[in-house]
Amino acid sequence: MMAVTDHSSANAGKIVISVDAMGGDKGPATVVAGISASAHKNPDIAFILHGPEEVLRPLVERRRGLRGRVDFCDAPDVVTMDDKPSHVMRHGKGTSMWSALESVREGKATVAVSCGNTGALMALSVIRLRKLPGVDRPAIAVLWPSSNPQGFNVMLDVGADIRADARDLLQYALMGASYARNGMDLKRPRVGLLNVGTEEHKGRPELKQAHELISRFAPRADFDFVGFVEGGDLPGNVVDVVVTDGFTGNVALKTGEGTANMIGAHLREAFKYSILSRFASLLALTSLRRLQKRIDPRRVNGGVFLGLNGTVVKSHGSADATGVSAAVKLAFQLAQSGFSEKLAARVASAAALAQDAEKNGGGPARDASDKGQATS
């Protein structure tokens, strides 16, 4: 049903991103416009595009910048936003989403990008790419605009799973730190655990337990553990990686986005109020654009699925071409840094550490430093 066609070799040496062209709210033309923008900016990128070839080929041929940089992988079916994950797991074989993951599974690309149904994409990713050895629950990480020097921090999990015990939270800390190192070029990320207060006695039992676990692992894992952080620290500069369960993370993410959207709407309304304020807003336009560029969620578009054999970037379902291009840029950056392999090595060495610690009856194994972990 699916076959890679038009496998031109002009893309040798380029980094190949596997892109699900279907399933976004705005259709494949928007996805093609997005990858075209990326191709324009980045000469080292190439694509495998998944979906009905008779639909996609004309869209691609209209873009001169994409000439010779796109391989097509024909997949006639589409996962819709209403499809239940369980249904897609059983019947999704002919879909562009399945096909996009297949390219990663087969090693033709190291990162896949999709704007489709998050639940279905996570379910398919788990059964097709499989979890990394040592990972119980994969997580979705997002970049959050903040006053950090890098302009963002990482938060995970934002909705892969609604539960997380202390060991899961430790794995999120390791995976998030690895993501920050490779996706944001931070040598020694600061990791915090989201709670309702920063005192150590506060919060749910699993959080106190996770606090202890992460404290013990941090010195061996090349990150700084700053302890508990609060919701107000998400856009701040005390932390680079915020660790939380998928329920809390999802509520926080949507609350932050909702608040930013509301303020944006009020801002537009405030400036429409009078002729003077309309004039002022014209003058203020560059300032406002500069602001928008900083807080625009489209520019940080891309939740990343962590803890699998391969990396999957989930773009917003409603992403426009700018949003798709931002997700592709992130995918490229992660592919180029060899993130998938580094994360796998990091998780494996943490699992070994944990085993040693258990054998030795608690506490990180003293001799673990002899193992010469790569910074990943």
Contact residues toward its own copies (CB under 8 A) are: 145-147, 159, 162-163, 194, 196, 203-204, 230-236, 244, 246-248, 250-263, 265-267, 270-271, 273-274, 276-277, 279-281, 283-284, 286-288, 290-291, 294-295
Nearest approach, Cβ of residue 291 and its own copies (Å): 4
Q: Which is nearer to its own copies, 187 or 290 (CB)?
A: 290
Nearest approach, Cβ of residue 249 and its own copies (Å): 9
Structure tokens at 274: 């009078």
* Whether the Cβ atoms of residue 193 and residue 234 lie closer than 8 Å to each other: no
Nearest approach, Cβ of residue 277 and its own copies (Å): 4
Residue 216 CA to chain centroid, in angstroms?
A: 27
227's CB contacts (< 8 A; 6+ apart) are: 192, 193, 198, 200, 211, 215
Nearest approach, Cβ of residue 203 and its own copies (Å): 6
Q: Which is nearer to its own copies, 107 or 232 (CB)?
A: 232
Q: Which is nearer to its own copies, 91 or 293 (CB)?
A: 293
Nearest approach, Cβ of residue 326 and its own copies (Å): 19
Closest CA to 334 of 28, 66, 138, 104: 104
Beginning with the edge strand found earlier in the chain, give each strand of the sheet holding 241-243 in spatial order. Answer: 4-5, 70-74, 45-51, 15-20, 111-114, 311-314, 303-306, 139-145, 152-156, 241-243, 190-194, 224-229
Query: Partners of 229 in the beta sheet?
Result: 194
User: How far is it, in rounded angstroms, from Cα 247 to Cα 257?
Assistant: 16
Please give the angle made by the CA atoms of 247, 187 and 326, to the nearest 5 degrees: 55
Nearest approach, Cβ of residue 24 and its own copies (Å): 18
Q: Which is nearer to its own copies, 166 or 267 (CB)?
A: 267
User: How far is it, in rounded angstroms, from Cα 313 to Cα 335?
Assistant: 11
Q: Which is nearer to its own copies, 5 or 147 (CB)?
A: 147
HSE on the CB side for 353, CA within 13 Å? Answer: 27
Nearest approach, Cβ of residue 265 and its own copies (Å): 7
